[in-house]
A and B are shown apart, each in its own frame.
Chain A
Amino acid sequence: MVDVRTDFEGDSCLITINGEVDASSSIYLDEALEKAVNADVTKILVDCQNLNYISSAGLGVFMSYIQELEAKNKKMVLYHMSAKVYKVFEILGLHQLLTIVETEEQAKTGADEI
């Protein structure tokens, strides 16, 4: 199961993922991302510290927003990702399309560089 929290702060939206994102729970991630993408923010920060596992369905959710974010000129940054989860992104090649950084500070500064 997963718990996805969405907090809005100024021009940024912070999404915190807790738990495992698999085929059945990816819908919560999708809801959170959709809310963030359609909200009046330019930066979307995704805290992956407590993301223990992500299945292909979860990756598909991230993937499906890449082009929309580009079109809306919004920046999404993922951070605090565990090595294991990063590897999953890396194998699929998503690390080339998404901004994945280590710390929150990097994420904030990274998101500013649009």
Chain B
Amino acid sequence: MVRLGFHRNVIRLSLLLGIIGWVGLVTINLLIQFARTHDLPSGFKPELALVFLCLYLLSVSVYYRFITGRAERVNFIDLLWRVFATGLLATIVSLAIYLFYLLLGNSPLASKVLLLSFFFHVRFGLFAAFIISTFMVWKQLILYQKSKRLILLWQIFEYSLLASIAFVFLPDRQGVDAILLTILIPLFVLGIILSVNLKWVAYLDFRQKWKSISIMLAIAVFIIYYTLELYNEVVALEDLPELAVLVVNPFIFATLGFTLVYSIFSLLVIIFNLPTSSVFEQKLEEIINFQRLSQSSQSGYDISQVYDILLESAAKAVSADAGWIEATTNGTPQLLTKSMTKERVEIFKKRLQANTEQPEIINPLPRPRLQRQDYEQRQRRHRILKLPEYRSVLWIPLVVKNNINGTLVLLKEVSDGFNKEMVSIITTFASQASISVENFQLMNETLVNERYQEELKIANRVHRSLLPNKPITNEAFDIAAFSEAADQVGGDYYDQYQINEQKFIIIIGDVSGKGTSAAFNMSQMKGVFHSLAPLDLAPDTFLAYANSALGRCMEKTSFITASFFVVNTQKKTISFARAGHTPTLYYSRRKQQACYLEIRGLGLGIIRNEKFNQYIEVSEQQYESGDIIVLYTDGITEATNQQGEEFGFDRLREVVINHAQESSKILQKKLIEELYEFCNHEPLNDDYTALIIKFT
């Protein structure tokens, strides 16, 4: 805001000073001239008028410098219009003065020197303003595409030009011409160098170019007309020497010369650029279309819209008469046509297919190593073919993820209608479209994946809810449990059930395999357990029923291992059976020893008939206070470290013996800690579960 205020103030101040400068200049010059015609002493030195002249020129320069908008913000035509308007105003005023004198005819007023002088000042003021405003607009055009070097060059030019205003003070009019030349020549050279910066012309479209030509022409005419007018006047008003210095000075010369040269340069360049402007426009459009294609995956288009853009922009880029795209989108074939019916496409397709069999028409560009390319690769290259109706046919495969996903065909009535540049731009378009389509597919896949992840999270929640959330608390024993799945869901299972005050059932199970399929079988196991548990069955009967139930619903290769315990807290006995599960570790406090309960058994689902029963045996034993039962799955004993060593049965026993005096909770924590340490905290690749029951 501060800068903006400063800006505005500079403009106002320079306007004010400009007016003061001009009024001062006119007043003093007129007074001097009045005094001279009446042979009076004027009392003013002519140098004072020069001071006002300098003030005027400087102020006008500053004014236009600040008021001219930048070309990036204002468009070129607007800028040119502004210059044109200033020029027009100045010219109209000049013409009006001319008309005024014409009307005066031979009246005595017409020969009044002072009036002539006044009008000269008016025209000079307008002329200076016009060329300075033009100069400032040219500056914006030149600096439209700037480089550091260009800016530096321009600054040198502009400041030395402004500095040259001071040369009006040179007293000796005789020697001025030499000095004038020494200043003017380098300035002029610099101006010419700067004048070749005409890059803005390239950004004009065809209509803008025509407009620019007319405006430029008008500006050039204004400048030339005005210059001739003023210098004729100076020669005519020989007896008023004060007037000559206004227009005959290095600043005006240089500014005038530069603006005129640049106008002529621009004019010529625009004229010569006219025929190629359509090419530039097309290139620009190609870039925009290319951008649309590349951004299509982000801007909410779908795949068929991408192909739509491709067909439209490709047809436009090579001015094809007709064309089509045939592609598979999400598994469904799709046909997009341009300037032809679908029926005609089918007819052409058949004919083209017959056509492609002839190898001599294929391969328009010379490829030295074509022989080494196999047919597959040749399929992926574009071809130029011929049909009677369309004498040039460009056939381009759309390759998405290394598969030919479709074809783009462009048709032209003229023969040899596709040159090398066209083929390359269309190929680029096609590959960009393919990338967009690929992005779409990737995005869709990501979405599907995310949905799966979400589903798995739900599965994980459900899976967790299948395990008891709180172990049974009882004065006879306490239980600590730990279970972790290698994937989101797993096949490890444990559960508990209280039959009556003194009878409890505890089960641990392990489904073969892991992941989702294991989790399904694990949930079946849970269903079986809760159906059978209230029946208060003996361990072997329980397992026989479970085998029969699970055998009916599990896959051929699946089985479940389980250990089944009935704890009687009144009799202080445990009765158990093992269905192929890892043997239970039993710690006896009295013996201070732990051993695995070896007992015959067979996994559930291995034999799916009555024969199963004969492989199961039941064992019963007394327990004492302080005794510990450790139930676990093979994920623990088979956990391997980096050396390929298994955690094993012995380590498990060691851990239990070493921490036997601790509570079940702490013992379980120690076990997990040691297990993780053994595996060096690498994630385990199996499900693992431990259940520790300590009798009190």
Contacts and interface: CB of A to CB of B under 8 A. Distances in A.
B323 interface: no
B634 interface: yes
Interface in A48-97: 55-57, 59-61, 63-64, 66-67, 84, 91-94, 96-97
Nearest to B557: A60
B557 A92 contact: no
B512 A60 contact: yes
Interface residues of A, number: 20
B581 A64 contact: no
A23 interface: yes
Contacts of B561: 56, 91-92
A93 B514 contact: no
Contact of B559 (A56, A67, A91, A96): A56
Interface in A38-54: none
Interface string A9-41: 000000000000001001000100000000000
A64 B602 CA distance: 14
Contacts of B579: 93
Contact of B580 (A23, A55, A64, A93): A93
A57 B558 CA distance: 7
Given A56-B512, A56-B513, A93 B600 contact: yes
Given A23-B513, A23-B514, A96-B615, A60 B559 contact: yes
Nearest to A59: B512
A26 B608 CA distance: 22
B581 A91 contact: yes
Contact of A93 (B512, B556, B606, B634): B606
B603 A92 contact: yes
B603 A57 contact: no
A64 B600 CA distance: 21
B204 to A, nearest CB: 66
B557 A63 contact: yes
B18 interface: no
Contact of B606 (A23, A30, A63): A63
A91 B557 contact: no
A64 B557 contact: yes
A55 B580 CA distance: 14
B607 interface: yes
Nearest to B609: A67
B259 interface: no
Contacts of B540: none
A66 B612 CA distance: 13
B559 A63 contact: yes
A91 B513 contact: no
A92 B514 contact: no
Interface string B480-501: 0000000000000000000000
Interface in B564-579: 579
A64 B512 CA distance: 12
B627 interface: no
B606 A91 contact: no
Contact of B513 (A57, A66, A67, A92): A57
Interface in B503-529: 510-515
Contacts of A92: 559, 561, 580, 602-603, 606
Given A56-B513, A57-B513, A93 B557 contact: no
Interface centre among B512, B556, B582, B603 (most CB of A within 10 A): B512
A6 B686 CA distance: 29
Contacts of B125: none
A60 B582 CA distance: 16
Nearest to B581: A91
Given A63-B557, A91-B582, A97 B606 contact: yes
Given A60-B557, A60-B558, A66-B606, A93 B513 contact: no
B675 to A, nearest CB: 18
B583 interface: yes
A91 B583 contact: yes
Contacts of A63: 557, 559, 603, 606
Contacts of A97: 602, 606-607
A57 B512 contact: yes
A114 to B, nearest CB: 19
B557 A57 contact: yes
Contacts of A56: 510-513, 559, 561, 634
6 contacts: A23-B513, A55-B513, A56-B510, A56-B511, A92-B561, A96-B602
Interface of B: 510-515, 556-559, 561, 579-583, 600-603, 606-608, 615, 634, 646, 686
Interface of A: 23, 26, 30, 55-57, 59-61, 63-64, 66-67, 84, 91-94, 96-97
Query: Which 6 residue pairs of A and B lie closest in terms of their CB atoms, listed nearest first?
Result: A93-B602, A56-B512, A60-B557, A92-B580, A64-B557, A64-B556
